[in-house]
Amino acid sequence: MSKRKTMAAAAWLLLWALAAPFAAQPALAQQNKPAPPKLKVGDMAPDFDLQYFDGTGLKKVSLSQYRGKKSVVLAFFVFAFTAG
């Protein structure tokens, strides 16, 4: 192989090595993109039976207790004492 060809090959290799991580980036971003929740509009909401503390004691709340009576907003939040 001529010296010139070797140089060209090396340059390509270098270029490839530099570009590869960027080429892989979109695929990675796709992976990290959060999936939508598996429950969709129109699905039945699973029943739950949970407790909260009202200052004097633990009180129960279930989804079924509101069936036919009230709509329910069920707002999941990440951690107490964080904004949002």
Partner 1 sequence: MKNFQHSLQSLEAADTQVVGVSMDSPFANKAFADQIGVTFPLLSDWGGEVTRKYGVYVDQYKAARRVSFLIGKDGKIEEEQVDKDAIDPTKIVLACDRLAHKKQ
Read off the amino acid at residue 65: Q
- Under the criterion CB under 8 A, does residue 77 sit at the interface with partner 1? yes
CA 63 to chain centre: 25
Copy the structure tokens of residue 16: 């490839």
Minimum distance of partner 1 from residue 35's CB (angstroms): 9
Q: How far apart are CA 22 and CA 37, in angstroms?
A: 29
- The single-letter DSSP state of residue 67 is T
Q: Which is nearer to partner 1, 14 or 67 (CB)?
A: 67
Interaction mask 17-56, partner 1, x per CB under 8 A? -----------------x-xxxxxxxxxxxxx-xxxxxx-
From 5-13, 17-25, 61-69, give the range in contact with partner 1 by CB under 8 A.
61-69
